[in-house]
Amino acid sequence: MSELDQAKPKAKTKATPPLSGSRVASAQALAALGGKALSGQQQAVFDLVLLCKRRGVPNMTGGEIEQAFMDIHGQRVRSCSISGRLNALVASGRLVRLDIRECRVTKGRAGPVAVPDGQAAALPGNESFTDISGVVS
């Protein structure tokens, strides 16, 4: 080690609080995803489902996601596009499928998706979405 290296003051780092219980499982689940980046559409769908979960909508069907996009962005997203993104997010472990229920938008029977509780707590979301009135009823 050179004299310059020895003379430099060491930067103080803030200690990270130890993880416990479900926070450990959440961190492990997040690490298992490998930090893979999502495509733009996948990220937009994921952010929407995550935001809705944080605002009291525990799960969403494709129709509900489609309606929420229309409410927020003022443009329609084709249901096949939503379906494709949901399939990819479920395959990557970012979302989970739940038991079939009635869709609040179409009134048909559909399988909703949700962000697993551990991920919802561990991940930052895109809080720029503001109006989810069409989803929350």
pLDDT digits (tens, 9 = 90+) for 40-83: 888 889 989 998 888 899 999 999 999 998 898 888 888 889 99
Q: Is the pLDDT of residue 15 over 80?
A: no
Please give the pLDDT value at position 41.
85
Please give the pLDDT value at position 137.
39
Please give the pLDDT value at position 134.
47
Which one, of 65, 101, 103, lies nearest residue 86 by Cα? Answer: 65
> Domain 37-122 adopts which CATH fold?
Arc Repressor Mutant, subunit A (1.10.10)
| Cβ neighbours, 10 Å, residue 29 | 16
Please give the pLDDT value at position 20.
54
Q: Tell me whether strands 113-114 and 109-110 are parallel, antiparallel or unpaired.
A: unpaired
- Domain ranges, ordered by start, for the chain: 37-122
Out of 1-5, 32-36, 47-51, give the one with best mean pLDDT: 47-51
Query: What would the mean pLDDT of 2-7 be, rounded to a whole number?
Result: 52
Q: Hey, what long-range contacts does 30-35 have (CB within 8 A, 24 or more apart)? A: 30/118, 30/119, 30/122, 30/123, 32/93, 33/92, 33/93, 33/94
